[in-house]
Amino acid sequence: MKILSAWVGEADIHASRTPGRAVESPILAAINALQFDEVCLLSAYDQWVSGAYMEWLERRSGLTVNVLVVRLPDPNDHDRIYMLASRVVESASTNNPGVELTYYLGDGWSAMAAIWILLARTRYPGWIIDYSTERGVKEVRIPFEPSPAFAPVASEADNVLTRLMQSLPGESPAFTAMIHRCTAMNRAVDLARRLALRDVPVLIQGESGTGKELFARTIHQTSARSDQPFVHVNCGAIPHESVNSGIFGDREVAGYVESADRGTLFLADVDELPLTSQVRLLRVLQDCEVTRARATEPRPINVRIIAATNRVLPEEIQAGRFREDLYYRLAVGVLLLPPLRERDGDLDLLIDARMASINVEAASQPGYGHKELDAAARKILIGHSWPGNLRELHNVLLRASIWASGDTITEKDISASLVRNVPPQGDAVLGRSVEQGMSLPDLMADVARHYLERAMAQAEGNKTAAARLLGLGSYQTLNNWLKKYEVE
């Protein structure tokens, strides 16, 4: 079996968006020239762009295309690039004994090409190819042989994750009940299904309202611990002075950890834990024992930890608010849940499902009649950005079902139900007073910096994607704006 591994490049994305023109995708050119059986790609573009390219490539090549979408803010982060690339190649190699590997160097960052060469000449031997419009697809001969002793060593957490990627368990009712069809959610659900069958810690990341608790409960329900307790703790809702005693117990009173013995402890907003409590949690994970507050003797414990956060924990680590050693203990199985605005094709399904649920729940209430959305109401819902994600969607539909006087929810009902966060007039861009004078250049700079930072965060550091989000013509134009307004 022949497998091609490559990073998705700008030329590939451009080719997929210009059908009918003489624009070649280097990856597709390699497939056509060398006849591969499967393609394993890594992409630093966002989920929507990566998924669209994958679908285009599958249609054009007729092959199975696997794409791992990654966050890669630093193009020179050789350690992370090596870890991601080796994970993909190891999974492909293990699942396909006797596989013939080929690496396409690509038109991306130099670190990517360097890592492919290192892998091809050490841990995962294979062919190395490159492409140009003048010469086509050509084999690249490397005039030296790196010693395997110089290859980086993956961490234990990476090894655990790689082992988890070896096989995909069968469908379970709990996961099939999750409503989705987009590529991003397909991957999240597939990984959650694998994690459910392995007794390892899980870290679930995502914005508020993306379904982190639902994923945690579903993992528990599908695991070998399903007949044992599932204990949900909101770390941010416990007074700081009571955190240790509440979670870890106090002398003769058991805490949440012991209440979850043999089951699952779900720690929502784990980033809200004080540093002293993080040390205690690390002890639970490392030594499988818990020491109650104001006690000296530890107690053995058998509990699975699933933690969730809507923050970027590496940034919390840099700010001194979260322990790095705890992060690596938790982040063995990592799930990143996409926001609703990035779940292309899911919104219609979710609207219908939530509306059906609301109708069932309210059916027994006095005076309630079955509600349906009209076309104009649905159009408003489809066009909304949903900053509150699934939770906001449910609340909007519930409010609209209450406001609607008849059996049809109208555009007016939906408009009245959408909560728009309007800043105070003194802070609004278009509501500033000019009576005492103002600095228009400073105001324009503030607006530019605000949206530049948001677009870079949304695009996970990918400047081409950020330029597209802001309607700027090119990567170079975005660079000029970033430099002008001193945005890192």
158: pLDDT strictly greater than 80? no
Q: Which helix (H) or strand (E) holds 128?
A: strand 127-132
CA distance 351 to 378: 8
Q: Which of 403, 401, 394, 412 is nearest to 370 (CA)?
A: 401
Q: Are 266 and 213 in contact (CB under 8 A)?
A: yes
Q: Which helix (H) or strand (E) holds 99?
A: none
CA distance 46 to 52: 10
Higher pLDDT, 295 or 421: 295
What are the tens digits of pLDDT across the range 15-27? 888 766 556 788 9
Least confident of 110-114, 277-281, 288-292: 110-114
CA distance 90 to 81: 14
149: pLDDT strictly greater than 60? no
Task: With H, G, I as helix, E, B as strand and everything else as coil, classify residue 88.
Answer: helix
Q: What is the pTM of this model?
A: 0.55
Higher pLDDT, 57 or 232: 232
What are the tens digits of pLDDT across the range 54-71? 888 888 888 888 888 888
Higher pLDDT, 188 or 468: 188
Q: Which fold has domain 177-338?
A: Rossmann fold (3.40.50)
> For residue 352, what are its two tokens?
């219908």
Distance of CA 226 to the CA centre of its chain: 26
Q: What is the CATH number of domain 341-417?
A: 1.10.8.60
CA distance 340 to 89: 31
CA distance 351 to 398: 11
Residue percentage of the chain with pLDDT more than 90: 36
Question: pLDDT value at position 22?
Answer: 54
**Position 44: which residue type?**
A
466: pLDDT strictly greater than 90? no
DSSP 261-311: TTSEEEEETGGGS-HHHHHHHHHHHHHSEE--BT--S-EE---EEEEEESS
* pLDDT category of residue 422 using cuts at 50, 70 and 90: very low
> For residue 45, what are its two tokens?
């573009």
> For residue 105, what are its two tokens?
């160097």
Task: With H, G, I as helix, E, B as strand and everything else as coil, classify residue 232.
Answer: strand
What are the tens digits of pLDDT across the range 424-461? 444 456 555 555 566 788 778 878 888 887 777 776 67
Q: What's the CATH class of domain 428-484?
A: mainly alpha
CA distance 284 to 291: 9
378: number of Cβ within 10 Å = 19
Q: Which of 77, 5, 37, 14 is nearest to 460 (CA)?
A: 77
What are the tens digits of pLDDT across the range 354-395? 999 999 988 888 888 899 999 999 988 988 889 999 999 999
* pLDDT category of residue 351 using cuts at 50, 70 and 90: very high
Q: Which of 203, 194, 165, 13 is nearest to 88 (CA)?
A: 165
Q: Which of 129, 98, 114 is nearest to 34 (CA)?
A: 129
CATH 3.40.605.10 for domain 2-144: no
Question: pLDDT value at position 159?
Answer: 45
253: pLDDT strictly greater than 80? yes
Q: Is 458 exposed, middle or buried (0-12, 13-18, 19+ CB in 10 A)?
A: middle
| Mean pLDDT for the stretch of residues 148-159 | 45
Would you kindly state where each structural domain of the chain is located, as residue ranges?
2-144, 177-338, 341-417, 428-484
Within 13 Å and on the Cβ side, how many CA atoms surround 318? 5
CA distance 461 to 70: 11
Higher pLDDT, 149 or 479: 479
Q: Which of 273, 330, 287, 324 is nearest to 256 (CA)?
A: 273
Q: Do 177-338 and 341-417 have matching folds?
A: no
**Position 428: which residue type?**
A
What are the tens digits of pLDDT across the range 284-313? 999 999 999 888 889 999 999 999 999 989
Q: Which of 90, 85, 160 is nearest to 329 (CA)?
A: 160
What are the φ/ψ torsions at residue 2 (nearest 5 degrees)? Answer: -105, 125
